[in-house]
Amino acid sequence: MGDSAALPRLVMASANPHKVAEIGLVMEGLAHLEPRPVDVPDVVEDGDTLEANARLKAVAVCEATGAAAVADDTGLEVDALGGAPGVHSARYAADGGTGAEGDAAANTARLLGELAGVPAGRRTARFRTVALVRHPDGTEVIATGTVEGHVIEEPAGDGGFGYDPVFVPVEGDGRTFAEMGDDKHAISHRGRAFRELARYLGRS
């Protein structure tokens, strides 16, 4: 896409250091990412879809900064649970009264509890990420990334974040996302969504 001066400049809506680092790796050389200003408060993610939550965050940061903002939302959709936790992934334990919102360990514990007794062949799932750029003129660019896999019975690996220790992607080598390190980015849902987003931005 040429030199760095020609790259699109985007303010990150997320302040999650794990997510910011991962997006930074995926978008390196594709966009110039700026951190969310510390005086921009957290946004209540009460949308009923991943796209709605991403839009809430991007609009808030765009309005606060007057600059194009990028946000994303991710859900783990487990077939045996009717697509849950889905859009509620970050607050799954809180919704169930077993932990605080954003508590990855509690979210994972609830998920594994819900899947107790479900055989391996029926633990299919997918990660889905919606990435969205909101421009000050109100126009948007939206991209989606999905990766299929399954949920294992016990966490494995200490990398990644969220549900990564219990998710094994179909396209991998049997390791969980938490065991894959940077190898994850080539096939991850977030990597796919943000690379697609960068392609759209490059054509605009």
The CA angle 187-203-23, to the nearest 5 degrees, is 35
How confident is the model over 97-152, as pLDDT tens digits? 887 787 899 999 999 999 999 999 999 999 999 999 999 999 999 999 999 999 99
Band (172; pLDDT cuts 50, 70, 90):
very high
How confident is the model over 36-93, as pLDDT tens digits? 988 888 888 889 999 999 999 999 999 999 999 999 999 999 999 999 999 999 999 9
Residue 77 in contact with residue 126, Cβ under 8 Å? yes
**Closest by Cα among 24, 12, 23, 7 to 64:** 12
What are φ and ψ of residue 5, in 5° steps? -65, -25
The CA angle 55-197-19, to the nearest 5 degrees, is 65
How many domains, in total, are found in the chain?
A: 1
Tell me which residue range forms the domain holding 114: 4-203
The CA distance from 22 to 184, in Å, is 10
Specify the pTM. 0.89
The CATH number of whichever domain residue 87 belongs to comes to 3.90.950.10
Query: Does position 16 have pLDDT exceeding 50, yes or no?
Result: yes
Tokens 């809430």 belong to which residue?
56
The CA distance from 52 to 170, in Å, is 28
| Catalytic site positions | 73
Residue 89 in contact with residue 162, Cβ under 8 Å? yes
